[in-house]
Structure 1
Amino acid sequence: MKFKTKLAGAVSGIAIFVSAGVAQAETLFWSTQAKPVEEAQAMREQVLAGQDVDYQPNDGGPWLTRLNAELQAGSGTIGVLGALHGDFSAMNPDDLVDLGDLGVGSASATFNELAKLGTDSAQYIPWMQASYIMAANKKALEHLPEGADINALTYDQLIAWAGNVQAATGDAKFGFPAGPKGLKHRFFQGYLYPSYTNGVVRTFASDEAVTAWEKMRELWAVTNPASTNFSFLQEQLLSEDVWIAFDHTSRLAQAFNERPDDFVAFPAPAGPTGRGFMPVIAGVAIPRTAPDMDAAKAVVQHLLKPETQVATLRATNFFPVVDVALPDDLPPAVQAAGDAVAKMSASADANPGLLPAGLGDKGGDFNRVFVDAFERIVLAGQDIRAVLDDQKTRLQAIMDETGAPCWAPDAPSDGACPVE
């Protein structure tokens, strides 16, 4: 690896970040991702092997502080930025270089559009992704509704499938992570709402949201009632208390790794407004103050090569965003989940519901609004319209207090996202 011997901290506003005598790599890759020591080392030794790159991960606060200092100074040492979609969406688009001429991007047209951040240019390039998926015991496949494609299910077909399994076995075998540590709020925010309302915040109390909760009640009617205690669905898949399940890829992994021949992974179902799903999208960008644009662009192009994407998967457990055949020596859970995530994100009706952004320490309160709606509507059987109108007030207060603007699939907002 080649290093510059001259310090790049000549700008006084940046000098605090660079200790005297520390050599700087040709291209500084400043990232909020792959921060654990093992992952960072794997990034350097496997993903970026042979590249003139200094990979430096950091927490969000220091990452943004240094970046803002360089942008304010008008010059700096950071060549490439690695961060989540929400980090980039909070930036001024003028501070990022248009990467549309690089000839690289995600296999998902939806992701590539999101990366424009509402502009006409590629503000960042999708880099890697994680998500939540569906999984099933292969015993359940014979009970699929006639004509249903497991890789392109609708919510109605999922409900019918779970009903068929219940009729055949005498037990409700759809599993939902409704336990105390379950990720049920992400299902509502990233899957149910985008699939039925094409929004999350704006559409929270809409007529379409009423329909969504009616559909959730139908699904719950064929759900294992013990799901209120389920938090990691891999356990119930292995015990066969559940034959069909929704959960985060990491919370299904044990089932696939222990009994890979018994289970299948597949995309989440679709509703009237698309196949809602919640991707955790990380991207790479180049700040306008990058010292060597050509070198920085070469790093971005390297990261999107199929072989580099596989190396990134091994290093971080984040899945590729490009079309790539996964090697046979990957753990079974990675192969199964990777295939499902790829099909889901590249589907023609993909409608991602992104992670909430801009909420600060109010993220838990935001999640609670959706959890309380579930408990009141589905578990307690309260009137849907009355519950949504009541919860709407709480949600709007959170948005007003934080000033958080809307995120996809909600339409952009000037200022706090409104609950319409």
Structure 2
Amino acid sequence: MVEPVRLSRRGLLRGALGTGAASLLGGCTGFATSGTSGLTFLSTQFTPVEEAERFRALLRKGFDGDVGYVTSDPGPFATQVRSQVDAGNVRVSLLGGLHGDLAPLAPDHLEDLTDIVSDFSSLGWPPEYLELARVGTDRTWYVPWAQASYVLAAHVDALQHLPSGADAEDLTYDQFLDWAVAARRANDNRPMLGLPGGPKGLLHRFFQGYLLPSFTGGQITTFRSPEAVTAWEYVRELWRNCAPASTNYDFMQDPLEANEVRFAWDHVARLVNVPKREPDRWRMMPAPRGPKGRGYMAVLTGLAIPKGAPDQDQARRLVAALSRAETQVELLRANAFFPTVRTQIPDNLPPAIRMEAAAVAKQRESKGALLSLPPVGLGSKEGELSKAFKDCFQSIVLGGADVRSTLDAQAKVVGKVLAEAKVPCWAPDPRGTGVCEVM
């Protein structure tokens, strides 16, 4: 009897990443997490119908097996993974989610993927992302997959108002404020800076991931520190030089396109349409830096395998294929999520994506870069935590309340949310082993 050929796990991975692989990934649509003939890929990402279909099209380009891509909200996602693993009846083979979706599942509910990042370290995952994927252990529980972030966008007309000697790609927060002041004065006292302070805007991420880390070095532990008082006093002054309609802005690409403002900060997905008509007239730049460094927020996604999952060799091949530079560039082209591996951005991408990719890279690689994350492990309580930051803005900046007393009061709210959620801190605060607390 002839012994069948068996490929080792490492051989399967190398095959998926080899230049001779005929495909990136593959699959089909409309799957449930049971009753499928192929591998089930459960993800919290690309939940809008158009994004999901574009990703499924990317998958169909050629993986030599069926993949059912199923999307889920974060709460049911975590519940489903835990219940399947705890019951010893796992039907999902691959997981895709934010760091905050995956980290709480490690190590009890995820397989160890240290071998993948070790075998393919030449792909160039950033060390800080690999550290996050270890979740405070010496093993790797997910593979960094794709990332998004927030940057500055500016029309070239606004750049003439930069302070003398200032580098638009290396601004301090003081220079950013001086820029806003000078632009307003040159525009008949009409502000040219806009921020996304509308009902669906992401201004709270500016505080959580950019301003407060840059001024205080933290997000939670330093919430009521003297440096946080200084930061909120700065916001007051900056807001005086923002377009008053900023309290209505949800997506900054809209007022930028309409010439209501000339420079703004927002999520890359909410700026992508700005340069479409006049790409040569727009710039994308890193956020400013403060006394503690350049705080920036990475919306990091990862790929993980549930403990005891079926089809693990296929799932690992899928992880390896999704980690290829070519695949990550195609994902950037399809859904504007940026690569986590080292790669050149092609010239044939839309101008906005090319500019954003360069700004995201400069932001992360700049001297003094200080990585921040969206809240991790809070589930439905994430909204309660973010509301504390929004309430600080409402009271201090819009309402003129005393900074110190406001921060002290909101620190109690933050502490209560974290105590109920029983979660450790996340970047830039030190993770530790206990419940995250305001110092």
TM over 0.5: yes
List alignment gaps of at least 5 residues for structure 2. 1-31
| Segment of structure 1 superposing worse, 364-373 or 324-333 | 324-333
Q: In 2, Cα distance between the equivalents of 1:235 and 1:293?
A: 45
Instruction: Tell me, in whole angstroms, the C-alpha distance in 1 between the residues paired with 2:291 and 2:204.
Output: 20
Q: Which moved more, 1:278-287 or 1:84-93?
A: 278-287
C-alpha displacement of 1:223: 2.2
- Name the aligned partner's letter for residue 157 of structure 1: Q
Shift in Å, 1:36 = 4.2
Specify whether residues 110 and 414 from structure 1 end up closer, same or farther in structure 2 by C-alpha distance, changes over 3 A only.
Answer: closer
In structure 2, the residue matched to 1:43 is: 55
Contact 2:78 2:105 in 1 (8 A): no
Q: Provide the residue aligned with 2:25 in structure 1.
A: none
Q: What is the match of residue 118 of structure 2?
A: 101
Deviation at 1:365, TM superposition (A): 2.6
| Residue matched to 1:124 | 142
What is the identity, as a one-letter code, of the residue corresponding to 1:18?
A: S
**1:147 is the counterpart of 2:148:** no
Alignment partner, residue 38 of structure 2? 24
Query: Which residue identity is paired with 1:118?
Result: G
Aligned counterparts of 1:143 and 1:85: Cα–Cα separation in 2: 39
Q: Which residue of 2 aligns with 1:213?
A: 232
Q: Which residue of 1 aligns with 2:368?
A: 349
CA drift of 1:155 comes to 0.9
Match of 1:272 in 2: 291
| 2:104 matched residue in structure 1 | 90
Letter in 2 for 1:400: A
Worse-superposed segment, 361-370 or 84-93: 361-370
Report the Cα distance in structure 1 between the residues aligned to 2:119 and 2:186, rounded to whole angstroms.
Answer: 54
Q: Distance in 2 between the 1:73 and 1:400 partners?
A: 28
Q: Does 1:138 align with 2:138?
A: no
Aligned 1:252-271 pairs, distance under 5 A = 252-271=271-290
| 1-structure distance, mates of 2:398, 2:417 | 24
Between the aligned residues of both structures, percent identity stands at 44
Q: Judging changes above 3 Å, is the alpha-carbon distance between structure 1 residues 73 and 348 closer, same or farther for their aligned structure 2 residues?
A: farther
Q: Distance in 2 between matches of 1:392 and 1:144?
A: 36
Q: Is the 8 A contact 1:396 1:419 kept in 2?
A: yes
Shift of 1:213: 1.2
Cα distance per residue 1:68-103 (max 9 Å; x no partner):
355336675544321110111101325331243132
Cross-structure match for 2:15 = none
Matches of 1:297 and 1:347, distance apart in 2: 33
- 1:57 is aligned to 2:70: yes
Q: CA deviation at 1:357?
A: 2.8
Identify which range, 52-61 or 203-212, moves more after superposition: 52-61
Report if the CA contact (8 A) 1:321-1:342 is conserved: no
The Cα shift of 1:65 comes to 4.5
Distance 1:23 1:230, change over 3 A: closer
1:169 has 2:187 as partner: yes
How far apart are residue 246 of structure 1 and its match?
A: 0.9
| Greater CA drift, 255-264 or 286-295 | 286-295
Q: Using the alignment, how far apart are the partners of 1:30 and 1:178 within structure 2?
A: 33
Partner of 2:295: helix, strand, or coil? strand
The letter for the 1-side match of 2:120 is G
Paired residue type of 2:240? A
TM-fit CA distance, 1:31: 2.6
For 1:359 and 1:76, how far apart are their aligned partners in 2? 24
* Corresponding residue SS for 1:308: helix
Q: 2:394 aligns with which of 375, 378, 395?
A: 375
Q: CA–CA distance in 1 between the matches of 2:389 and 2:78?
A: 30
1:312 equivalent in alignment to 2:331: yes
Q: Which has the higher mean CA deviation after the structures are superposed, 168-177 or 288-297?
A: 288-297
**How much has 1:115 moved relative to structure 2?**
1.8
Residue identity matched to 1:252:
L
1:145 is paired with a residue whose SS is: coil
Read off the aligned partner of 1:31 and give its amino acid letter: S
**TM-score of the superposition, structure 2-length normalised?**
0.82
**Hey, what's the Cα distance between the residues in 2 that align with 1:303 and 1:222?**
44
C-alpha deviation, 1:310, in angstroms: 1.4
**Aligned alpha-carbon RMSD (Å):** 2.6
Deviation track 1:116-141 (CA, whole Å, cap 9, x = no partner) reads 21223332221111222111110122
Structure 1, unaligned runs of 5 or more: 1-15
| Cα distance in 2 between the residues matched to 1:166 and 1:394 | 36
State the distance in 1 between where 2:245 and 2:83 align. 52
How does 1:177-196 map onto structure 2 within 5 Å? 177-196=196-215
1: CA distance between counterparts of 2:59 and 2:323? Answer: 11
SS in 2 for 1:398: helix
Q: Work out which of the residue numbers 303, 311, 320 in structure 2 matches 1:284.
A: 303
Are positions 1:228 and 2:260 aligned together?
no
- Separation in structure 2 between the aligned mates of residue 231 and residue 33 of structure 1, nearest angstrom: 21
155 and 107 in structure 1: CA distance in 2 versus 1, 3 angstrom threshold: farther
Relative distance call for 1:213 and 1:299 in structure 2 (3 A) is: same
- Structure 1 residues 319, 294: closer, same or farther in 2, change over 3 A? same
2:78 & 2:387 partners in 1: Cα distance?
28
* Structure 1 pair 216–304 and aligned structure 2 pair: CA distance change class (3 A): same
Look up the SS of the partner of 1:389 in the other structure: helix
Change (3 A) 1:397 1:126: same
Q: Cα distance 1:17–1:139, how it changes in 2: closer, same or farther (>3 A)?
A: closer
- How far did 1:153 drift? 1.8
Alpha carbons 1:234, 1:254 under 8 Å: kept = yes
